Amino acid sequence: MPSSDPIQRLQDILDNIARIEHHTAGVDFRVLSDQGKTRDAVERCLERISEASKKLGSLAETLCPGVPWPEFRGLGNFLRHEYDRVDEDRVYL
């Protein structure tokens, strides 16, 4: 359910990090690169993290300083609009 609550948005980020960890547990990069379903799931989680980061706005820097929030915010647009330029080495390592 959509929420404007910053705590819920941070929880959404944590939940999607946990999903990525679950999807990639025990999977090395070569296997991940060959598994389209897993790769797609990870990218979707990254898009959600990006969107939650955007919706947090400048509050993100206040709540969690030191996190590269601008990079997280930009990642979703890159994954959606530049999908053909995604460097798997950078995303998955």
Q: What is the 3-state secondary structure (H, E, C) of the chain?
A: CCCCCHHHHHHHHHHHHHHHHHHHCCCCHHHHHHCHHHHHHHHHHHHHHHHHHHHHCCHHHHHCCCCCHHHHHHHHHHHHHCHHHCCHHHHHC
Q: What is the pLDDT along the chain (93 residues), one digit of tens a residue?
A: 456 789 899 999 999 999 999 988 887 777 666 667 888 888 899 999 999 999 999 999 998 899 999 999 988 888 887 776 777 666 665
pLDDT at 38: 83
pLDDT at 91: 64
Confirm whether pTM is higher than 0.75. yes
